[in-house]
Amino acid sequence: MSSTIETTSAVQALKERFYDIDALGAASAMMDWDQQCFMPHGAAEARSHHTSILGRMHHEAIVADETGRLIEEAANAVVPESEEAALVRVAKRSYDLATKVPASLVAEKLRLAAIGHEVWVKARKDNDFKAFAPTLEKMIEICRQEAEHLGYEDHIYDALLDQYEEGAKKTDVEAMFGTVRKPLVDLVKDIKADGRDIDNAFLTGDWPEEKQRAFTENIVTAIGFDFERGRQDTAPHPFCTGWSVTDVRLTTRFQPLLNSAVFGSLHEAGHGMYEQGSPLAWDRTPIAGGVSLGIHESQSRFWENIVGRSREFWVCFYPELQKTFPALSGVPLDDFHRAVNKVEPSLIRVEADEVTYNLHILIRFEIECALLEGSLGVHDLPEAWNAKYADYLGVTPPSDALGCMQDVHWSAGLVGYFPTYSMGNLLSYQFLAKMTDEIGDQRALWAKGEFGLTLRWLQENVYSQGKRYTPPDLVQRVTGKPMGADDYLAGITAKYRAIYGM
Amino acid sequence: MSSTIETTSAVQALKERFYDIDALGAASAMMDWDQQCFMPHGAAEARSHHTSILGRMHHEAIVADETGRLIEEAANAVVPESEEAALVRVAKRSYDLATKVPASLVAEKLRLAAIGHEVWVKARKDNDFKAFAPTLEKMIEICRQEAEHLGYEDHIYDALLDQYEEGAKKTDVEAMFGTVRKPLVDLVKDIKADGRDIDNAFLTGDWPEEKQRAFTENIVTAIGFDFERGRQDTAPHPFCTGWSVTDVRLTTRFQPLLNSAVFGSLHEAGHGMYEQGSPLAWDRTPIAGGVSLGIHESQSRFWENIVGRSREFWVCFYPELQKTFPALSGVPLDDFHRAVNKVEPSLIRVEADEVTYNLHILIRFEIECALLEGSLGVHDLPEAWNAKYADYLGVTPPSDALGCMQDVHWSAGLVGYFPTYSMGNLLSYQFLAKMTDEIGDQRALWAKGEFGLTLRWLQENVYSQGKRYTPPDLVQRVTGKPMGADDYLAGITAKYRAIYGM
């Protein structure tokens, strides 16, 4: 009896501590959301002060000795394998990640990231890689130091990757790309050589914003995003954020290319439903919400690509889309379905289709490993980048702006982040395969607008687990095997061979 | 030289402390704004946790010994009468107000206010004053204790009033109402007896929201609210908030009565322009922004009533309003101008016109003084309320719901707050009189849509002073005399005699 009380009170004290940390995080997250959706232009400087102060307070609250003490006391009190043990484990991971790196290095990285962003924006605009190179070199060096502080067993890259995808290693990523590279490159070549021509010009048009807004809200509601516990606004670069399982915010954008809002909304709603599916009882605690970037991306990709780009989805929604946008009234369903799945090797990652996307990531992964190891010098980056684009995608960037300077990540110090996008792509198909094993092919239901069983399976197996298990544990528990490429390759090959009539 | 450095560093350290406090306040303010404008329904509980934690952190940061120490050090370092001395004075006032009342009493008041709000909502709905009375009795007792801790020289009411209007005393408020009561009551009687009939039925209609939004944004921009440093959204109960001189948020609402959005937006923009006019260099420091509720209300009332309800304002904007809402095309300008100035003794304060408004406040002031002193028992409140409404306004509430339970203030523990509304009304005319003395009658310019000189005078004399001077000092400096009723009575009598053709 007394041991239960001790357990309860030690864990409760830790929870209370993290409720405070969570409130500071929530405040920062809301300020960031507001900045991207609503903030008047003139407020940028004041906002930067507010977020930097709140960020500092958040960091101070995590690294405080008191937090370490509460974690230790709770760790001694919990039953192994219990929900509470998971809470302590995740709290300890936050504490460790925040305390292992000296505050001076954290501050130096933040400073360099702020400056680096400006430098990158200008260098990209001027297509002047030389102007960006010194900053990137410094950032790579800081990331190296950061990795040494964080520690690793096998490879320096592991320390950085683990921040974004707990438990993942460079060898896992290599194995992943080792399996998918050739089949993907071959599939792209086959499509080019033998696939039918697909026209997608009709997707670009003058689509009224209010109609795009209403249509995306409809489909996002239909798949199961709960507007009682969330909303959708507009932002220049769509994202999903939130500060409670009961308050999840999506954003989308309205462009001449209809894909942007439609699939962007489905993508963000995938992230959003994952967050909304976390148990209410865990709200504001360390184990609430999505467990990693890779698992998160598996859900955004699942709803965007597997559901949203399926023929069945449009059997259900295409009539409504045509009614909303009469310019599509002459376009048959199959033409529309093929158009939104058109494969086309291109220069820009964020515009890439489902098949070529992972090749863009592979290039970035190989390059950031080489930069970290020192086997590639920053000044040779453009050449290495262009060679890989020619090799894997058959395209050559006409400029570094459209080549190795296209992404924001490295200037922000996000090294080791890119592979999580590909993990998400693989895992979306791995979850689909297991779901199909267990409850059968759901596509006929999608064609009737019924997404409940699909969502329920994901909810029960993935969303309701929050951060209780590490990402590799979760994948093993749900699919009975570690992350692999088989389901992805089988799924994507079948899908695109059918679409291209091969 | 060394003394300058000491001054600078002590004040700088105090500023840094208050930047932290400000960031926590900004976070709470944004969460409150979001809750009223955008928050999904399901998020209410999580939000209450977040705001209560951030509120606690804000309070802890103010009352911390470190804050007291920094104030003391800065106080010893500054030159009397300087801007820095003002900063220290205002910081000390925050610290004193927050530390004088024991934390346990603050917590008790917050708890009672939360419960009291629910009790009040239900009792008002059920028209059951007896159900509300015990809670109100407790709240009055807590306010008495609070006042004792805050301290006062002459009357217990002074301690409460000072929280909202620094330096104001019960005797000032009595003098104010002593001067205005009879003239206002007489003016209302004269209007009823001798004034022309005014029809305002045409103001109620089916006004499309988007058109109301666009029109209010136009007029608010025209008078000088800067949308580069602010925005306007919708909320059920309009308010103005903000967290930087560069980020001021207005809200409005769209109703069948056109007045609601038009004059509500002008009112909130008055508050907003005052906040936007605070010096950029003082942003996020204790002396930034409006100095008191009374001075703030003088600005909202100035732009709403003196400018917005002037005939000249509508000479400028009525053609646009008629184009926006064709239902008004048959209504002559003079009829419209009279309609938006119609005087009608009524039961409800928030719907009251400019002439009767102060009588509503007078009643509340007399009653809350009597409740505090104990000369009126809570159980006799309805009777006292109804007698005063009959006496001052010639109307008798048919129920307590439409009588003494109509306002949220007392259930929330806001005792001593009401007089600031009337101070604002008086001061708006007092500032107008001085402005007219100095730069001449501005109304001909308003008729041409030129509000720049008016705004500039207020900006230079009031807005740019932030909280540098106490409210009584500011009034004296700007108008050359203490707050009084002469300008108000002269202005309002002339205006309404003209409108009513008397």
DSSP letter at B302 equals I
The pLDDT value given to residue A6: 55
DSSP letters spanning A77-101:
HSPTTSHHHHHHHHHHHHHHHHHHS
- Are the CB atoms for A301 and A424 separated by under 8 Å? yes
**B58: nearest CA in chain A?**
A24
Reading the block at residue B347, the tokens are 């039961």
Residue pLDDT, tens place only, B178-213? 999 999 999 999 999 999 999 999 999 999 999 999
**Which residues of A fall within a CB distance of 8 Å from B38?**
231
For the segment A250-276, the average pLDDT, to the nearest whole number, is 96
Residue pLDDT, tens place only, A62-84? 999 999 999 999 999 999 999 99
Tokens 């006409």 sit at which residue? A398
- Are the CB atoms for A247 and A55 separated by under 8 Å? no
| Whole-angstrom distance, CA of residue B465 vs CA of residue B274 | 10
- Are the CB atoms for B6 and B77 separated by under 8 Å? yes
Looking at every residue in chain A, the average pLDDT score rounds to 95
**Residue B164, Cβ neighbours under 10 Å: how many?**
18
| Whole-angstrom distance, CA of residue A483 vs CA of residue A292 | 14
Residue pLDDT, tens place only, B371-402? 999 999 999 999 999 999 999 999 999 999 99
* N- to C-terminal Cα separation, chain A: 68
Residue pLDDT, tens place only, B132-157? 999 999 999 999 999 999 999 999 99
Residues of A with CB under 8 A from a CB of B: 19-20, 22-24, 26-27, 30-31, 34, 38-43, 45-47, 49-50, 53-54, 57, 226-231, 243-247, 283-284
| Whole-angstrom distance, CA of residue A333 vs CA of residue A48 | 47
| Whole-angstrom distance, CA of residue A93 vs CA of residue B452 | 57
The pLDDT value given to residue B143: 97
Q: What is the ipTM of this complex?
A: 0.94
- Among B19, B54, B228, the residue with its CB nearest the CB of A53 is B19
Reading the block at residue A187, the tokens are 């599939």
CA B239 to chain centroid: 9
User: How far off is chain A from B46, nearest CA to CA, in Å?
Assistant: 7
Residue from B41, B217, B246 to probe the interface with A (highest A Cβ count within 10 Å):
B246
Residue pLDDT, tens place only, A205-249? 999 999 999 999 999 999 999 999 999 999 988 999 999 999 999
The pLDDT value given to residue B6: 55
For the segment A309-330, the average pLDDT, to the nearest whole number, is 98
The pLDDT value given to residue A351: 87
For the segment B8-16, the average pLDDT, to the nearest whole number, is 94
Residue from B210, B244, B251, B275 to probe the interface with A (highest A Cβ count within 10 Å):
B244
- Among A46, A57, A283, the residue with its CB nearest the CB of B284 is A46
Strands A247-252 and B240-244: unpaired
Residue from B16, B18, B38 to probe the interface with A (highest A Cβ count within 10 Å):
B38
The packing angle between helices A83-100 and A2-37, to 10°, is: 60
Residues of B with CB under 8 A from a CB of A: 19-20, 22-24, 26-27, 30-31, 34, 38-43, 45-47, 49-50, 53-54, 57, 226-231, 243-247, 283-284
The pLDDT value given to residue B7: 59
User: How far off is chain B from A271, nearest CA to CA, in Å?
Assistant: 17
Between chains, do B50 and A39 touch, taking CB under 8 Å as contact?
A: no
- Among B20, B38, B226, the residue with its CB nearest the CB of A231 is B38
Between chains, do A42 and B231 touch, taking CB under 8 Å as contact?
A: no
Please tell me the total number of residues recorded for chain A in this structure: 502
Percent of chain A with pLDDT over 90: 95
**CA-based nearest residue to B309, from B253, B364, B242, B357:** B357
Between chains, do A49 and B229 touch, taking CB under 8 Å as contact?
A: no
The pLDDT value given to residue A388: 96
**Which residues of B fall within a CB distance of 8 Å from A26?**
31, 50
A173 has pLDDT over 70: yes
Q: Using 50, 70 and 90 to split pLDDT, how confident is the model at B131?
A: very high
Between chains, do A47 and B229 touch, taking CB under 8 Å as contact?
A: no
Global model pTM greater than 0.90: yes
Instruction: Tell me the three state secondary structure of residue B485.
Output: coil
- Are the CB atoms for A213 and A231 separated by under 8 Å? no
Reading the block at residue B14, the tokens are 């105090």
**Partners of A232 in the β-ladder:** A250
Tokens 């996002």 sit at which residue? A220
The pLDDT value given to residue B66: 98
**Partners of B249 in the β-ladder:** B231, B241
Between chains, do A19 and B228 touch, taking CB under 8 Å as contact?
A: no
User: How far off is chain A from B309, nearest CA to CA, in Å?
Assistant: 29
Residue from A32, A37, A217, A247 to probe the interface with B (highest B Cβ count within 10 Å):
A247
- Are the CB atoms for B228 and A40 separated by under 8 Å? yes
Beta strand residue intervals within B331-429, DSSP E: none
**Which residues of A fall within a CB distance of 8 Å from B230?**
40
Between chains, do B42 and A243 touch, taking CB under 8 Å as contact?
A: no
Residue pLDDT, tens place only, A351-379? 899 999 999 999 999 999 999 999 999 99
Annotated catalytic residues of B are: 268
**CA-based nearest residue to A11, from A75, A74, A92, A66:** A74
Looking at every residue in chain B, the average pLDDT score rounds to 95
DSSP letter at B411 equals G
- Among B30, B40, B231, the residue with its CB nearest the CB of A31 is B30
- Among A39, A47, A53, the residue with its CB nearest the CB of B20 is A53
The pLDDT value given to residue A273: 98
Residue pLDDT, tens place only, A43-65? 999 999 999 999 999 999 999 99
- Among B27, B39, B246, the residue with its CB nearest the CB of A247 is B39
- Are the CB atoms for A251 and A284 separated by under 8 Å? no
User: How far off is chain B from A225, nearest CA to CA, in Å?
Assistant: 13
